Amino acid sequence: MERAKLIDLTRRFTDAFNRNDFDAVMAFFSDEGVYDEFNGKRNRDKAAIRAAFEPRFSGAFGNMEFLDDDIFCSVLSGSVSLGNAPARRRVPRASNRSPRLTGPLPIS
C-alpha cells in the first residue's frame, strides 16, 4: 500500500476512534487483523481486538484519543504505530511503546 493511502486510512481510523464510534473503528479491521497493545499483549482476530478496545470505549480509561501528530507507518510491513493520550490533556505516554495496528486492514 502506498504511504499516502496508509496515512489516509490511519487518519480516518483515528477520526472514528476520537469520535468514540466503536462500530466505525471495528469496521477498519479484517477478521485476521492484529492489534499490539503498548504493554506487549498481541490481540489476533477481530473478536480479540474488539475485546481489547471495549474498556476504552466504555470509559474505563477516561476519554482517550489518538494523536494525529504521532503517526509512524511502515509501507513495507503495512503497520502503523500511533500515540494516544487522554482527550484534551496531551501528556507524554508512560511507556515508550505505542499501540500498533497491523494488517490486513480493509480499505474503504
Could you tell me the CATH number of the domain that includes residue 96?
3.10.450.50
For the cut 50, the answer to whether the pLDDT of residue 92 exceeds it is no
| Residue 47: predicted pLDDT | 96
Tens-digit pLDDT profile for residues 36-91: 888 889 999 999 999 999 998 998 888 877 766 667 777 777 777 766 554 443 33
Distance of alpha carbon 101 from alpha carbon 17, whole angstroms: 13
Domain containing residue 29: 3-102
The answer to whether residue 107 is domain-embedded is no
| Residue 108: predicted pLDDT | 43
| Residue 95: predicted pLDDT | 42
The answer to whether residue 108 is domain-embedded is no
Grid coordinates representing 42 are 498481541
Nearest to 45 by CA among 28, 29, 24: 29
The answer to whether residue 30 is domain-embedded is yes
The total of structural domains in the chain comes to 1
According to DSSP, the residues that pair with 71 across neighbouring strands are 82
Tens-digit pLDDT profile for residues 5-29: 888 888 898 899 889 999 999 999 9
| Residue 45: predicted pLDDT | 94
pTM of the full structure: 0.66
The answer to whether residue 21 is domain-embedded is yes
| Residue 38: predicted pLDDT | 81
Cα–Cα–Cα angle for 13, 19, 21, nearest 5°?
Answer: 75
Beta-carbon-side half-sphere exposure of residue 26 (alpha carbons within 13 Å) = 16
Residues 6+ apart with CB under 8 A from 44: 32, 33, 34
Nearest to 106 by CA among 12, 37, 22, 42: 12
The answer to whether residue 22 is domain-embedded is yes
Distance of alpha carbon 62 from alpha carbon 42, whole angstroms: 22
